[in-house]
Chains A and B, each alone.
Chain A
Amino acid sequence: MTSIATEAPVDVNGVAVPNRPGGRVLAVLRDAGASVPTLCYDDRLEPQGTCRMCLVEVEMNGRTETVASCTAFSEPGMKVRTHTKEIVEYRKTLLELLLSEVRDPAKDSKRAALGDYEFQAAVREYGAEADAFRPLERRQKVDDPNPFIARDYDMCIACFRCTNICNDWEQASAITVAGRGQDSNIFTKFSNLLMESPCTFCGQCVNTCPTGALTNRKLANAITPVSMDWEGEVEEAESNTLPAPSGDAVQLGPETAVERTKTICPYCGVGCGINLITQDGELVGSEPDFSAPSQGSLCVKGQFGSWDFINSDERLTTPIIKNAQGEFEPASWDEALTLVTDKFKHYRDTNGPDSTVFWSSARTTSESNYLAQKFARVALETNNIDNCSRT
C-alpha cells in the first residue's frame, strides 16, 4: 500500500492516476475515467486479449508500443494514450470486420428498447459502417426451444465470453467452442439443447454477451419494441414482432425505452443485486446489477424468475372477510382494519395480551418487520412476536 504513495503515477491521456501494482493497464485507464471497448473482456475472468479492441499506446522509458490494455500490466510512470488517430482508425476497421460477420444490429428494435449492447455502443461511437466489408456467411441460429435463453448466433462475434463465463465462473461446462475463426461455433455436447446439457440457466452467458447473440427470451417476449432515430426520440413500433430486415429499418438511438430500478433479488439469503426492468409502468423483466457485491452473478431464480409472480392475475387485490357462512367476501380497507383491530383489542382486553400472537416474515422488508414487532409490543402489549426464519 505504501508503494502507491511513493511510486510515480500513471498518466492516462494527461490525467495522472496512481499505479496499480500488479494491475492491468485497463484498470488504471478506467480509474482515470477513460474508456475503451473491451469486447472479449469480463472483469470476473482472466483476460483473453483476443479481440484487440482495447489496444492503447503506452510510452515507457522512452519506448512507445501498442498493447492490449486488458492484458498488459501497468507500471509507474507509464504514459497511456487511448485514442490516438491510428488506434481509433484501427478500432473502426476491426468493428467493420466484425460487422461483416453479423446481422446489422441497427435493425433490431427490441434491442433498441433495452439500450445498446457493448458491441452496438462501440459501433456507434466509432462510426463503423455495416457495409464496409463484404458480408461473410453468418453463424447458425440454434433452434433451442428452452424457455429462457435465445441463441441467435448470427449476432455472434466469437469473443467467447459466454463459454469462458460458463466454464470458469459458473463452472457448469454447459457450452464449448468448436472450430476456429469464422468456422467456430458454440454448442452444447450431444443434442445442442441447453435443457439436455449441464446448463443451470444461471444466465451468466446472456449477461456477458456483448452483442445480443444470447438473449433473455422471457425479457425479449415481454418488451415492446421501439423504433428510435439518432436523436434518441422514442416512438412505439407498430407490432410486437421484430421488423423485417429491410434497408430502411429503424436505427438505434442512445436512449432506452425502459426504466431500470436497482433492487435485491427476492429469493434467497445471498441477496444478489438485480435491476427490475419496467416499460410503461409494467414490469417486464430483470437483469443483474453488476455494481452489487454479487458482481452480476445470479442463479436461475434471480435471473429468470424474479418478476412474473408479481404480474400474476392470482394476486390478492382487495381485503377479504369471511362471512358467517364461511365464504370470503371483498371488503373495504376501512372495514377490514376496523374488524381486525376491534378483534385484537377484544382479545387483548378480555383474555389478556398473551392470548394474541403476531408472526412476521422473512420475505418482507426489515422496516415492515420492525413495525410488526413494535405493533405486537406496543399495540398488542405482548412479546408474542416470532417469524419463520427457523424454517
Chain B
Amino acid sequence: MVGKGAMSNSIEEIAGADMILVIGSNTTEAHPVISLRMKKAVRNGAKLVVIDPRKIELTKWANRHVQLKIGTDIPVLNAMAHVIIKEGLYDAEYVENRTEGFEALRRHVEIYTPEFAEELSGVPAEDIAATAREYAAASPKASICYTLGITEHSCGTHNVQAVGNLALLCGNFGRENAGVNPLRGQNNVQGVSDMGALPTDLPGYQKIEKSEVREKFERAWGTPLPRRRGITKITALDQMVRGEVKAVYIMGENTVVSDPCSGHSRKALEAAEFVVVQDIFMNDTARLADVVLPAAAFAEVDGTFANSERRVQRVRKAVDPPGEARADWRILLDMFEYMGVPQDLESPSDVWDEVAALAPILSGISYDRLDKEGGIQWPCPTPDHPGTVFLHEDEMDSGMPGQFAPVDHIPPVEEPDDEYPLFLTTGRRRSTYHTGTQTGRAIGFDELVPHELAELNPLDADVLGIEDGEVVRVSSRRGSLDVHAKVTDRSPKGAIFMAFAHPDTAPTNILTNDAYDFITETPEFKACAVKVERLGAGDAAEAVAD
C-alpha cells in the first residue's frame, strides 16, 4: 500500500518513539535485541501496547495487553480506525496530501465499533478505544512493530493492510520514530527478496512482467528472459504432486520440517523426478534428494546479509569449509559453467558489483564502502548517498499516494470444534531457532529448552486433568505427537502454543494446517484446531522410552 516489504523505519528509532504498538510479535523471544529498544523507549516514558493472544513476556513492560482471540486482529485494528476517524483524531492534512481512499475506509470501518470488535475478539471495547486514542495522540511518533503473528494467517495480507491503515490515518509513514515495521525472522530474509529470488521480481523489486525492466536485464545478461512470472513454492509443491514440475533445486532450507503440513511437502518431493539439495547438514529434506551438495556455512564465506531495517552488512570468511564443502556462490558459478553459460564473475564482490549496476536501490553500495562505513540502508542510489534511515519521507516509496485498504475479518480456516476443541498456535523461543539445525548443535542449549513444550492454560489443564511437565498427546486432523505439557497462563484459555525446533521428537508441523494466505501464500502457522489428551499408561511408558 506504500511500497516494498521492509521496515519503514530503523531499529534504533524504536527507542525514540512515543508509543509502540506491538502486534503478533513475541519480540523478547524472536527478536531479543529489538526488544531492548522497546524496553528503552518504555524507560524513557513511551507507551507500549501489546496486541497478542498470548501473555508474552513483553507484556511485563506494556501499559496494556490487548489479549484478543486468535485470528481476530482485523476487528480490533478496524475498530481502532473507527475510533480515530469518528473522534476526528486522524491527521487530516496528511490524509489529504499523501493518501488515497480515505472515504472508502471511513465507510468501511463504520460498522466496526469497538463493541462489535469486542464481540469478535473478546477485547473490552474501552481498551480498544483507549489504544486508538493513545496511538493517535502519540502520532507522528508512533511505531507499529509486527511479525509472523500477523502474517502467518490465511488473512495475513489483510492484517498487514489493516495495520497500514492506522499508520496512514495518523501520518506515521515518512516520519522519524514512527512507521510500520515488520521484523523479519531469518538473518537474510530481506536480502533474498532484495536479490529477486522471487517468482515476480528481478533484483531490486523490479517486476519481471514489465517489458522495460526485462529488456534492461536482457541487455545486461545477454540473453532473452522468460516473460511470465514464475510459480511460488506452494504452487510448485502442488505441481510436483500432479507431475508438472519434475526437477527441483533446493538451496539450504529444510522444507520438509519447516513447511506446514510437512506430510504434503514430503509427498511432493517424493513425486518429483529429480531433487537436488544444497545444505550444510543432512536433514529430512536432503534425505529425499537424488543429489546432495555440501555447502559452506556463514563463517566460511564472504558476502552480505540485509537485515530487517534494510541494512546491507558484510559477512566475512573466518575459516575454511570442511572437506569438499563449497560456498553457495562458488557452487552456483560452477553450475553456470556446466550448463554452458559461464559467468565472468570470480568473487562475491564481483557479484555485488553486478547487483549494484542493475538494482537502483542498491547502486550506491560497494564492498569498499561497507568496509569503511559499516552497514548501509537501502535505498542508496549513488556512491555519495548516505543510505536511508526511514522510508517515505517526501513521498511514498511506491511513488503514489498511500492507499487505504478496507479489509474485513476472515476467521482462521480451521477453528476449534467439538472434536478438536483447542487452537494450536506456533512460534519461536529465544534459545532455539527455526528448525533447530543450528541451535540444536550448540553446546549448552539443550539445557535451556531440553525438549519441545506444549504451553497450556491452567484452566484447560484442569479440565483435562493434565499436570505441568507430563507428556501429553496433541493431535490434529493431520497428525499427532507426544510432547511435554507446560502449564502456564502465557497461553490463553482455549489455545496451546508450540515451537518447532525439536523436529526429531516433536515435529510440530505435522499438526499445522496447509491453509495459506490467498495473496502471499504465507502458511497459516498461527492457527489450527487440535485436541490434547493424557497418555494411557502404555503410551506413557513408550513416550518416556523415546
A and B, one complex? yes
Which residues of A does B touch, CB under 8 Å? 146-148, 168-171, 195, 200-202, 218, 259, 261-273, 276, 278, 281-283, 291-294, 297-302, 304-310, 312, 314-322, 328, 331, 333, 336-341, 343-345, 347, 351, 353-379, 381-391
* Distance from A306 Cβ to chain B, minimum over Cβ atoms (Å): 8
Q: Say whether, besides A300-B448, A304-B444, A365-B328, A379 and B336 are in contact (CB < 8 Å).
A: yes
Shortest Cβ-Cβ A-B pairs, 6 listed:
A317-B323, A365-B303, A147-B444, A271-B307, A383-B230, A269-B184
- Kindly report which residue of chain A lies nearest to residue B299, judged by CB atoms: A310
* Beyond A301-B430, A368-B251, 16 additional pairs, beta carbon < 8 A: A171-B43, A200-B32, A270-B32, A271-B308, A272-B33, A316-B280, A317-B323, A321-B291, A343-B274, A354-B245, A357-B247, A363-B188, A364-B328, A371-B332, A371-B345, A375-B339
A379 to B255, CA, bound (A): 24
Instruction: Give residues of chain B (54-87) contacting chain A, Cβ–Cβ below 8 Å.
Output: 61
A316→B236 contact, CB < 8 A:
no
A315-B280, A357-B236 known; A365 and B191 CB under 8 Å?
yes
Number of A-B contacts (CB under 8 A): 440
> Is residue B281 contacting chain A, with contact meaning CB distance below 8 A?
yes
**Closest-CB distance, A320 to chain B (whole angstroms):** 5
Give the nearest-CB partner of A323 in chain B.
Answer: B290
Give min CB distance, B87 to chain A, whole Å: 34
> Which chain B residues border A201 with CB–CB below 8 Å?
431, 448
Of A273, A333, A364, which contacts B188 at CB under 8 A? A364
* B148 to A, closest residue via Cβ: A391
Q: Is B442 positioned at the interface, with any CB of A under 8 Å from its CB?
A: yes
- Annotate B223-236 by CB proximity to A: 1 below 8 A, 0 otherwise: 10110111111001
- Pair B195/A375 contact, Cβ less than 8 Å: no
The docked-state distance in angstroms from the alpha carbon of A364 to that of B320 is 16
Query: Given known contacts A264-B313, A340-B335, is B192 in contact with A318 (CB within 8 Å)?
Result: no
Contacts of A276 on B, CB cut-off 8 Å? 299, 318-319
A377 CB contacts on chain B under 8 angstroms: 202, 221, 225-226
Tell whether B425 is near chain A: CB-to-CB under 8 Å.
no
* Residues on B with beta carbons closer than 8 Å to the beta carbon of A170: 36
Contact B374 A291 (CB under 8 A): yes
Contact of B253 among A282, A385, A388 (CB under 8 A): A388
Bound-state CA distance A309–B438 (Å) is: 5
Give the shortest distance, in Å, between A221 (CB) and chain B (any CB). 9
A92 to B526, CA, bound (A): 60
Q: Give min CB distance, A217 to chain B, whole Å.
A: 8
Cβ of A359 and Cβ of B444 under 8 Å apart?
no
Which residues of B135-150 have CB atoms within 8 Å of chain A's CB atoms? none
The CA of A82 and the CA of B228, in the complex, are separated in Å by: 68
In contact, B294 and A317 (Cβ under 8 angstroms): yes
Q: How many residues of B contact A (CB 8 A)?
A: 140
6 contacting pairs across A/B (C-beta < 8 A): A299-B430, A314-B281, A319-B291, A340-B335, A368-B332, A371-B332
Give B232-286 interface residues, CB cut-off 8 Å to A. 232-233, 236, 244-253, 255, 258-260, 273-274, 276, 279-282, 286
Contacts of B34 in A (CB 8 A): 270
How distant is the Cα of A339 from the Cα of B334 in the complex, in angstroms?
Answer: 13
Binds A, one of B108-116, B120-128, B347-355: B347-355
What's the nearest-Cβ distance from chain B to residue A288, in Å?
A: 10
For B305, the closest partner residue in chain A by CB is A264
A263 touches B299 (CB 8 A): yes
CA distance A374 to B343 in the complex (A): 10
Q: A282 and B319: CB pair below 8 A?
A: yes
Quick check: is B477 within 8 A (CB to CB) of the other chain? no
Q: Cβ of B199 and Cβ of A385 under 8 Å apart? A: yes
Distance in Å: Cβ of B248 to nearest Cβ of chain A: 5
A359–B325 CB distance below 8 A: no
B contact residues around A373 at 8 Å (CB): 195-198, 202-203
Interface centre among B193, B197, B311 (most CB of A within 10 A): B197
Chain A residues in 8 Å Cβ range of B444: 146-148, 218, 304
B185 at the interface (CB under 8 A from A): yes
